[in-house]
């Protein structure tokens, strides 16, 4: 699953180009001609507020452009959830 434009949801190759440390240029979506993901430059609190307000663009940013396969440790989540399930299941019997 690749990176996606937060406005139209179409796939984009890059979200930004970095010229030097701290100097980036946001890429535009080829489909809708908008900046593909402007949340890259926003602070976490702004993104969190938009997530609380259920803005679709903020969810697209989080799900498609932040939480990629490289970031998520699926094996660790599986082990932790299995262990939690077994512990909670044991508590039912006592």
CB 16 within 8 A of CB 25: yes
Closer to Zn ion by CB, 3 or 42: give it: 3
Residue recorded with tokens 């890059």 = 14
Contact status: 5 vs Zn ion (CB under 5 A): yes
Of 5-13, 19-27, 57-65, 74-82: span binding Zn ion (CB under 5 A): 5-13
Cα–Cα distance measured from residue 70 to residue 79, given in angstroms and rounded to the nearest whole number = 18
Q: Radius of gyration over alpha carbons of the chain, in Å?
A: 18
Binds Zn ion (CB under 5 A): choice among 4, 15, 27, 29: 29
Residue ranges binding Zn ion (CB under 5 A): 5, 7-8, 29, 31-32
């Amino acid at each position: 699953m690749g990176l996606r434009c937060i406005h139209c949801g179409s796939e984009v190759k890059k979200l930004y180009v970095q010229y030097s440390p701290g100097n980036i240029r946001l890429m535009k979506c080829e489909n809708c001609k908008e900046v593909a993901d402007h949340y890259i430059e926003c602070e976490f609190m702004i993104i969190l507020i938009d997530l609380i307000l259920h803005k679709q663009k903020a969810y697209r940013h989080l799900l498609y452009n932040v939480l990629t396969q490289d970031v998520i440790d699926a094996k660790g989540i599986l082990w932790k959830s299995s262990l939690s399930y077994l512990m909670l299941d044991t508590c039912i019997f006592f």
